[in-house]
Structure 1
């Protein structure tokens, strides 16, 4: 059941328990019994309970809501010179409709709308000279939550192994962030392959 709200025009109120909720400023034209209010990509329809003072409104429907979406990739190779886990520095942005991906400094996604997010990551490695399982790691708030490995089985010709991750993660819309690391237990010099064909990429969207 959607709530009844009691608020003066021009003030703000906060809707709780709605995935797309943000603070909304009430606005309407004189004489309207039904009004729509918009903020941050969310549309709220409300009906006046007391048409004369335009103070009491009953929420009829919440439509849509902000849906942060991003897609980034490596446009060129990133050389990693350590066996330690190292952050993949996504350096090209295709989509970032809510300006939530920091491509310049931290190379991480910090959504400002709470909810469940689907993340898809594809990584290809190059210059791998040792037979091993090389891994990528999705981290949330600096803690690994999912690992996927690509095997370079032939020491003489290990090739360009690859791997992918698809996972749904709950994000609080304020402090939670995700980033991707690469980890090699044997090879101390290798590349994250990058090109205009987006062979290594990271994308995500909020699940409605």
Structure 2
């Protein structure tokens, strides 16, 4: 995969020759993109010495309401160098405008069969990116795992991102799976191209 960022003379558009489908998040929250990042000379702008991004996760199993779109309550912080992720609101609100690589992984369990599981990256309170959508007509889905990545533009003032899940099931409880390493439910973001 090669991600090219073209010059501002062409409007600063981002071209993705092959869709980004995987980001690797290390134990300390370090985000690694697959492939090579190619930038023409003079295009990359620095965000000073700021490290902008976050890597947050759910450290213990957390119940959530079935048949309701639910904001994921991240309890563990792997990496949040400038405090852009607020653990009280569960929002990532960076103070530097630009394009961010955002990755969301969710794992949910239900004690009753589910026929609809969804995972979304919400920007400014709206479903902006559907990371995963699983529908089964046989209603036998007890465990649902989704993972996906997207480049998202953030304005550096009011734009924010949240992780959301939904499980459609007739009865029983739903659980966001948690673990100390944060591999089951994680939201990661990193500034790729500042304005």
Matched residues, number: 145
**Structure 2 unmatched runs, 5+:** 1-44
SS of 1:176's equivalent in the other structure is coil
Larger radius of gyration: 1
Instruction: Name the counterpart of 1:135.
Output: 118
* Contact kept in structure 1, 2:122 and 2:162, CA below 8 Å: yes
* Contact kept in structure 1, 2:47 and 2:96, CA below 8 Å: no
Map 1:1-208 onto structure 2 (within 5 A): 65=48, 66-103=50-87, 105-147=88-130, 148-150=132-134, 155=139, 158-187=141-170, 189-198=173-182, 199-208=184-193
SS of 1:160's equivalent in the other structure is strand
TM-score calculated relative to the size of structure 2: 0.67
Q: CA deviation at 1:151?
A: 5.2
- Between stretches 179-188 and 110-119, larger displacement belongs to 179-188
- Between stretches 89-98 and 187-196, larger displacement belongs to 187-196
TM-score calculated relative to the size of structure 1: 0.64
Counterparts of 2:135 and 2:106 in 1: how far apart (Å)? Answer: 12
Counterparts of 1:95 and 1:176 in 2: how far apart (Å)? Answer: 20
Deviations 1:31-69 (A, max 9, x none): xxxxxxxxxxxxxxxxxxxxxxxxxxxxxxx76633402
Counterparts of 1:72 and 1:63 in 2: how far apart (Å)? Answer: 24
* Contact kept in structure 2, 1:125 and 1:161, CA below 8 Å: yes
Larger RCO (CA under 8 A, 6+ residues apart): 2
Could you say what the CA RMSD is over the residues aligned between the two structures, in angstroms? 2.0
Instruction: Name the counterpart of 2:17.
Output: none
> Does the C-alpha gap of structure 1 residues 128 and 137 become closer, same or farther in structure 2, counting only changes over 3 Å?
farther
Counterparts of 1:107 and 1:67 in 2: how far apart (Å)? Answer: 19
**Structure 1 unmatched runs, 5+:** 1-61
* Contact kept in structure 1, 2:53 and 2:94, CA below 8 Å: no
